[in-house]
Amino acid sequence: MIKKLFLFLAFAAVSWSVKAQTTEVSADQIQMIHTEIQVEKKALFVENMQLKESESKLFWPIYNAYEQEMAPYSYEVIENLVHLANFEEKKISAERLDEIGKEYFKKEKAILKIKQKYFKQLQKELNVFIAVRFFQIENVIDTQLRIAQGVNTPLVMEEVN
């Protein structure tokens, strides 16, 4: 099941990055890509969570709340993937890199806080097995998106004054 998830995301990441590299992408297109990812992601959760009917009734409202809280961060990952695919300049100022680093760690802390909150909620309202399974799937998806982002990000080579 995770293998199928991995293959889908690998294919999707490559196709989205190729699309981003070959055309100028509008905000509407980024939103469309984000929506497509969310639809496919939910389908993968439906297939892989293997919930009983009673568990489903409790799980899906929690899943929807989690996705809503994570939406600004997941949208930003897609937006960065598209923009970085078009980024050719490898020079950047030390000040800008410092800002990017601070923004990155601030967002990572916020994301971790959200994940911890929902892990506890899933564990409390369902059980630890469902909570762990949820985050196993979520982490595979997140890893694939980060790989796509990393592959399309040029290395910073030198400082611009």
- pLDDT tens digits for 34-60? 788 888 889 999 999 999 999 999 999
Domains of the chain: total? 1
Q: Quick one: pLDDT at residue 38?
A: 83
* Dihedral sign, Cα of residue 92, residue 95, residue 97, residue 103: negative
**What is the residue range of 146's domain?**
2-159
The predicted pLDDT at position 100 comes to 77
Query: What is the arithmetic mean of pLDDT over 9-18?
Result: 54
Amino acid at position 59, single letter: F
3-state DSSP call for residue 154? coil
Residue 15 to residues 24, 82, 143, 145, 148, Cα–Cα distance (Å): 15, 11, 16, 12, 10
Exposed/middle/buried for residue 75 (C-beta within 10 Å: 0-12, 13-18, 19+): middle
Q: What is the pLDDT of residue 144?
A: 84
